[in-house]
Amino acid sequence: MQLADRTHAILPSATLKMAGRAKEMQAQGKNILNMSAGEPDFDTPDFVKDAAVAALKRGETKYTPVLGTVALRKAIAARIEQDYGIKAPIDQIIVGTGGKQVLFNAIVCLLNPGDEAVFGAPYWVSYVDMVRFAGGNPVVVPCPGDFLLRAADMEKVFTPKTRLLIISSPSNPAGAVYSRQELQDIAALLRNYPDIFVITDDIYSGLTYDEPFASLLHVAPDLVNRVLIATGVSKTYAMTGWRIGYGIGPKPLIAAMDNIQAASTSGACSIAQAAAHGALTGDQKPIEQMVTEFRKRRDRMVNGIQSIPNVTLYPPKGAFYVFPKIDAYFTAAVPDSQSLSEYLLEKAYIATVPGSAFGLEGYIRLSFACSDADIDEAIVRLQKGLLSL
Ligand SMILES: Cc1ncc(COP(=O)(O)O)c(C=O)c1O
């Protein structure tokens, strides 16, 4: 059978392969500790579930507008005004099936074949696939150390073909967070490059532990016509399975995304939109408690990892991952992060994600979206596994 060329743009995921192997081993009765999760372990709060049940009972079971229900977009507008100080009319807001669909549609709408999209590594895996799928070229800048792509390094890779910059803070996989000064430097640079559009992937904005969340538009509201904020309820409200994300951006882009979404999936699930409305408008106490718990786990995980000899860790300031440097343990038989992750799974019964999956060799990602007991056990298994190499 002959498949279209574009199907080759997306490579098989190393992450899914590891997750599949971990499941296989669990099915064989092996006690695998899964530290590779990309979602909060908390249940969706009850007040959010109640909003979904109420919508079901009201019979909100029909198609919604492609851009999303008016009620949800109004709630998003109110939240964006509160969190970013930006007034967004509801025709500049699109609700999608997860933040992922919003990012995918935006990238497809922004890039022509051959256009370049710049972002730092480690990156969220899907950026590469989405850019390639759109026919664009990912231009990836390695950012070891504290994992932030700063203005000076961006400028070195900007070319006349650069059309898009993607920045994400807090980031996946490193939990790296930009300071306001770093964002101001990026804004100053972007003012010299009027043809470059920016996506700020703010999906982890609700999960910061050391300083208040800041995004590009906080420090540079003058760039509002060149920025799409891509975010959603998945991580902050423990709603990954509900699949609701949203984008806030310039009208022509949102209109183009509306067309693409109309041709593919239409409006997101009506019940999930009602749940997201409940999440954004309800009592935020349970969310604050979740953040407090994540902060404690972050500290526990960081202390544990930093106690392992020859492992270095730049502590995350947000999200729920650590990204330690483990290359001191590479050997002839285990020469890279992929083989190290496989080794840790097979021999230490701990599932991690190799740094190479995020474009940066020498690291692995562990999630701390799990219990304290699992964090403690993960540290023990990781240390034992590494020291046996
Ligand atoms: C950096 C980043 N952006 C976007 C997403 C997409 O989130 P959603 O589950 O809302 O599609 C994820 C999910 O893992 C992510 O890690």
pLDDT > 90 in the chain, percent? 94
Residue burial 178-188, b: 16+ Cβ < 10 Å; e: rest? beeebbbbbbe
* Average pLDDT, rounded, for the chain: 96
The kind and range of the H/E element at 20 are helix 14-27
- Cβ atoms of 314 and 348 within 8 Å: the answer is no
Q: Using the mean position of ligand 1's atoms as its centre, give its distance from the Cα of residue 238 in Å.
A: 12
Ligand 1, residues 203, 237, 358: which to mutate, most atoms within 8 A of Cβ? 203
Pairing status of strand 162-168 against strand 116-121: parallel
Ligand 1, residues 15, 100, 265: which to mutate, most atoms within 8 A of Cβ? 100
Residue 13 scores a pLDDT above 90: no
pLDDT > 70 in the chain, percent? 100
Q: Report the pLDDT averaged over residues 325-345.
A: 97
In sequence order, what are the beta bridge partners of 229?
A: 200, 248
Could you tell me what percentage of the chain is helix, strand and coil, using 3-state DSSP and rounding each to the nearest 5?
Answer: 45, 15, 40
Q: 3-state class of 56 per DSSP?
A: helix
Residue 76 scores a pLDDT above 90: yes
Q: What's the pLDDT tens digit per position in 148-197?
A: 999 999 999 999 999 999 999 999 999 999 999 999 999 999 999 999 99
Closest CA to ligand 1's atom 7: 99
Residue 15 scores a pLDDT above 90: no
Q: What's the pLDDT tens digit per position in 276-285?
A: 999 999 999 9
Q: Using the mean position of ligand 1's atoms as its centre, give its distance from the Cα of residue 199 in Å.
A: 13
pLDDT value of position 37: 84
Shortest-distance atom of ligand 1 to CA 244: 10
Q: What's the pLDDT tens digit per position in 292-304?
A: 999 999 999 999 9
pLDDT value of position 12: 77
Q: Which residues line ligand 1 (CB under 6 A)?
A: 38, 98-100, 124, 168, 172, 201, 203, 232, 234, 240, 245
Ligand 1, residues 15, 36, 126, 323: which to mutate, most atoms within 8 A of Cβ? 126
pLDDT value of position 347: 96
In sequence order, what are the beta bridge partners of 10?
A: none
**Burial class of residue 125 (count of CB atoms within 10 Å of its CB; 0-12, 13-18, 19+):** buried
The kind and range of the H/E element at 3 are none
Shortest-distance atom of ligand 1 to CA 240: 9
Q: Write the DSSP string, 306-359.
A: HTSTT-B----SBTTEE--B-GGG--SSS-SHHHHHHHHHHHH-EE-EEGGGGT
- Cβ atoms of 248 and 89 within 8 Å: the answer is no
